[in-house]
Amino acid sequence: MLVRAIIDHADKQAQVIEASNGEEALAKTESVQITIAILDLNMPGMDGLVLATKLLERFPTVKMGLLTANIQDMVRQKAKALGISFIPKPITEERILGFIYG
């Protein structure tokens, strides 16, 4: 909700799709084109890296960011191999907008 509020405040024209888990995110993106995805590493069901892999299969040019406080080397290496940027927690307007517009 915080990420959505930051984006809505910065760009009234942006269309934001929210999902509470990976399966919901996949379902909600079946019939739309996405250009940016901000995912949480820790979600119910599939984690953010698994969701990222599935989204990248559908949207190979999507700009992808992974929200996490858990920046272990193994997670960092997997994300880097997929071309995913890290957005460290805590979530701030500067970090979210820096990722989107940076």
Annotate 28-95 with three-state secondary structure: HCCCCCCCEEEEECCCCCCCHHHHHHHHHHHCCCCEEEEEECCCCHHHHHHHHHHCCEEEECCCCHHH
pLDDT in the model for residue 26: 97
Question: What is the spatial distance between Cα 57 and Cα 46, in angstroms, rounded to a whole number?
Answer: 16
Question: What is the spatial distance between Cα 75 and Cα 3, in angstroms, rounded to a whole number?
Answer: 22
The tens digit of pLDDT for each residue in 23-36 reads: 999 999 999 999 99
pLDDT in the model for residue 73: 82
The tens digit of pLDDT for each residue in 69-99 reads: 877 788 888 888 999 998 988 999 999 999 9
What tokens were used for 35? Answer: 């250009």
Classify the C-alpha dihedral 74-77-81-85 as positive or negative.
Answer: positive
Distance of CA 16 to the CA centre of its chain: 11
Band (11; pLDDT cuts 50, 70, 90): very high
pTM: 0.89
40 beta partners: 67
Domain 2-101 of CATH type 1.10.8.60: no
